[in-house]
Amino acid sequence: MKTRHIALFLFSSAILWALTSVTSFAQAMPPYGAPITIEQAKKAAGAAVARMRKLNMDMTIAIVDSGSNLIYLERSNQAGIGTIDAAIGKAKAANGIKTPTKVIGEMILSRNQSNLLGVPGAFPVEGGMPIIVDNKVIGAIGVSGGMPADDGAIATAGAAAVQP
Please indicate, yes or no, whether residues 26 and 46 belong to a single structural domain of this protein.
no
Do 97 and 59 lie in one domain? The reply is yes
Same domain, 89 and 10: no
pLDDT beyond 80 at 159:
yes
Q: Does residue 69 sit in the same domain as residue 17?
A: no
Domain count, the chain: 2
Containing domain of residue 91, as a range? 31-160
Task: List beta partners, residue 61.
Answer: 74, 143
- What is the value of pTM for the model shown? 0.81
One domain, residues 142 and 81: yes
Phi/psi at 131 (5° precision): -105, 115
CB 61 within 8 A of CB 45: yes
Same domain? 70 vs 12: no
Q: Is the pLDDT of residue 19 over 90?
A: no
Cα angle at 162 between 159 and 164, to 5 degrees? Answer: 135
pLDDT digits (tens, 9 = 90+) for 116-131: 888 888 889 999 999 9
Question: Do 68 and 38 touch, CB atoms closer than 8 A?
Answer: no
Rounded to whole angstroms, the Cα distance separating 31 from 142 reads 20
Q: Where are the beta strands (DSSP E) in 51-155?
A: 60-65, 70-75, 128-133, 136-144
Give the pLDDT of residue 94: 96
**40 and 13: one domain?**
no
- 83 and 140 in a common domain: yes
Domain check: are 152 and 132 in the same one? yes
